[in-house]
Amino acid sequence: MNNEYIPCPARVASVRKETPDTSTFAVVFQDEARAASFKHAPGQFVQVSVLGVGEVPISIASPPFHREYLELTIRAAGKVTRALHRLGPGDRMHIRGPYGTPFSFEQARGKNLYFIAGGIGLAPLRSLIHLALHRRGEVGAIRIFYGARTPDDICFNQDLKRWHDAPDTQVRVSVDKPDEHWQGHVGVVTSLWQTHELEPSDGVTYVCGPAVMLRYVVEKLIRTGFRTDDIYLVLERYMKCGIGKCGHCNIGARFVCTDGPVFSRSRLGGLPAREWLL
Amino acid sequence: MRERLLRKERIKDLCMAARRDWEIYLPLEHVGGDVQFVRLEADEEIESLKRLRLDYDSLVIPPKTVAFPQHECLFRFHRNEITETVAAPNRKLLFGVRACDLKGIRFLDDFFRRGFDDPYYRARSANMLVVVTVCTRPQPYCFCTSAGTGPSLPAPRAIGQRSNTGFDLQMTDIGEAYLVETGSAQGQHFVDHYGAFDGQVPPEALERAHRAKQEAAEAVHLRVGFDRAVQRFCEGKVPQRVYERMAERCIYCGGCVYVCPTCSCFGVFDEKNEDSGMRCRVWDACMFEGYTRQAGGHNPRFAKWARTARRYEHKLKYDYLETGSSSCVGCGRCLASCPVNIGMSQVIQEVASL
């Protein structure tokens, strides 16, 4: 009988340092049949274990068409993520999933796509950005607005440069606190665009970042004229099971792990604002 | 439906016969007079059965522990090798459950098996037969008649597969015997299989059982505006100050959650010694500040009143909207166990009278 609580061993193939406290782990399932059967969609997450330490939910940062490995971008923030950061190539972690309701690529078809991310919040959006660029002809313009605390906290530097050079794709990056070398924009992520620059009527927006950022970004997007159906957010919550049982990620009657983590703003509308805005 | 009689002196014989086919769980008196719903241990049945108390006041801990124990191993590991530890799906006889607690069991059956079918809960609950005893000793904090969960349950019109709210057997104390009603095919099979049940039921036994049920209902003195409160919660008409006032008094010990027959939240943790260890799940409480605190420090439910709101809205609003039935069973345990005298019945009354 299939037991969703049992994770599968996976080998760390490589580790790429993104920032002083964040790294991207490329991992490969030890069992080839598991590797072949594993299929995810952008926005989904996996439960990642270090046996004896614990388990945490981590967004999948790589796109579904990358079959050779799975990329997990992890910030060393707690007990388990610090243990994960001690792993290097060849070491084992354990993974189960994928879980959660993903982004709908169908919804993006033919639309201009606006991605707004803060810090490590770019990780789940990166999977969709890669997919959109992979199927470039099927979507309109791509605009990426990315904010980080300092220049050192910018994740996916290589990707940002590559995306900037892609056809009809624009990347704007801002930092809250510049260093002496920073020549780019300074300010919160919402200062990266003027409301008249975006076209709400045929655009879809994807937002992920810290809770306080979500609040201001959503406010500005609504002011810009986006319908609440066209504003997608990826929420982050403490979770234990990932499959709608442990209760930790509950918001109202919904589970972030199964009903989300991707929610449209309109779907969040019926849930208590104090629980997702704060 | 054909009723049976179970004479009280035959209950021990029934348990001794049934223990060959079933894991038996029943209310036994423990140190200090507390009655606990526990497994009948092999080799000590005769001694244990002397402590059987079917007419108990109430159980501190609800019988949800049979399928959802407070602490449960999910798997063991040695280095990178994992060994699954799902319990064997043994046949379990739950003998002497109150009607309100049956609602709790059926609620959790539905919750754990809808969506992802929880393999641990499934294994423990799959082959369970529940024998309800009609409550004759309602406590001052009980409000099952308002919640519509007890003290007795209506018998089904026809015996087929059990409905997800029904009993397998229901027993009513009529003095020297229990009148036994059958609620499911499994229950029917049980009374047919064991010789302890008497098929000759005089009409006055039925009359006495009927009266006993009526008297039990009348003995539940606490009446609250349950439906009205649920309606107000569902309409979002409960002002924040109701929660804030409770938050001033609540010490956030989690006691009400642990004793609640329908609370299902759990935490998961790993234990490790050298190369070996296990992953366990353990009851958790949404009243705790750490329940929603993320590793990065963000806590979407940091405020005490927001945690209080979560608990009451979950029971009286969201579960009602999701399942068509509130998950408060009216047992009153939350009030009985609360060190600062807060209970679901008080919240319901306050909201109903707004």
Does B121 fall in a domain? yes
State whether B113 and B214 are in the same domain: yes
DSSP notation for B45-106: HHHHHTTB-TT-S--SS-GGGGTS-SEEEEEEEETTEEEE-PPP---EEEEEE-HHHHHHHH
Q: Does residue B243 sit in the same domain as residue B160? A: no
Q: Where a domain ends, among B194, B218, B242?
A: B218
Asked if A210 lies within 8 A of B298 by C-beta distance, the reply is yes
Last residue of a domain, one of B190, B218, B246: B218
A104 to chain B nearest CA, in Å? 21
Q: How many domains does chain B have?
A: 2
Instruction: Classify domain A105-234 at the CATH topology level.
Output: Rossmann fold (3.40.50)
What angle separates helix B226-234 from helix B344-352, to the nearest 10 degrees? Answer: 70
Inside any domain, residue B40: yes
Q: Write down the pLDDT at residue B156.
A: 77
Q: Are residues B208 and B263 in the same domain?
A: no
Distance CA B184, CA A181 (A): 77
CB contact under 8 A, B112 and A4: no
pLDDT at A1: 53
Same domain, B285 and B140: no
Q: Residue B206 corresponds to which tokens in the numbers above?
A: 């039925």
CA B249 from centroid of its chain's CA atoms: 27
B302 and B158, same domain (yes or no)? no
Taking the CA of residue A36 and the nearest CA in chain B, the distance in Å comes to: 21
Q: Is residue B74 part of a domain?
A: no
Residue to mutate among B301, B304, B315, B316, with most A CBs inside 10 A, is B301
Are B236 and B207 part of one and the same domain? no
Our CA-based measurement puts residue B288 at a distance from the nearest CA of chain A, in whole angstroms, of 11
Phi, psi of B206 (to 5 degrees): -65, -40
Per-10-residue mean pLDDT of chain A, 278 residues long, equals 91 97 98 95 98 98 96 97 98 97 94 97 98 96 97 97 96 97 96 92 96 93 94 96 97 95 90 68
Task: Tell me which H or E stretch contains A265.
Answer: helix A265-268
Sketch the domain layout of chain A as residue ranges.
Answer: 8-99, 105-234
On whether both B265 and B288 belong to a single domain, the answer is yes
Q: Which structural domain range is residue B276 located in?
A: 226-352
Closest approach of A197 to chain B, Cα-based (Å): 32
What does the block give as tokens for B262?
Answer: 């329908």
Positive or negative CA dihedral for A107, A109, A113, A117? positive
Select from B192, B218, B244 the last residue of a domain: B218
Regarding an ipTM greater than 0.90, the answer is yes
* Residue A278: per-residue pLDDT: 47
Query: pLDDT tens across B304-346, in order?
Result: 999 999 999 999 999 999 999 999 999 999 999 999 999 999 9
Exposure of A72 in the CB half-sphere (CA atoms within 13 A)? 32
pLDDT of residue A65: 96
Same domain, B248 and B163: no
B79 within domain boundaries = no
pLDDT score for A277: 64
The answer to whether the beta carbons of residues A121 and B296 sit under 8 Å apart is no
A8-99 CATH: 2.40.30.10
Buried/exposed A8-33: b ≥16 CB within 10 Å, e otherwise: bbbbbeebeebbebbbbbbbebeeee
What pLDDT sits at residue B1? 60
What pLDDT sits at residue A269?
81
Is A36 part of the contact surface with chain B (CB cutoff 8 Å)? no
Residues B177 and B292 in one domain: no
**What residues in A contact B112, CB-CB < 8 Å?**
245
Q: Is residue B255 part of a domain?
A: yes
- Residues in chain B where the model's pLDDT stays below 70: 1, 157-165
Q: Are residues B53 and B107 in the same domain?
A: yes
Please, what is the average pLDDT of chain B? 94
- Indicate whether B50 and B182 sit together in one domain: yes
Chain B residues touching residue A247 (CB < 8 angstroms): 264-266, 284, 286
Q: What is the pLDDT of residue B155?
A: 80
Please check whether residue B78 lies inside any domain of the structure: no
Assess A33–B contact: CB distance below 8 Å, yes or no: no
User: What is the three-class DSSP state of B208?
Assistant: helix
Single pTM value for the model = 0.94
**Together in a domain, B28 and B50:** yes
Sign of the CA dihedral B70, B74, B79, B83? positive
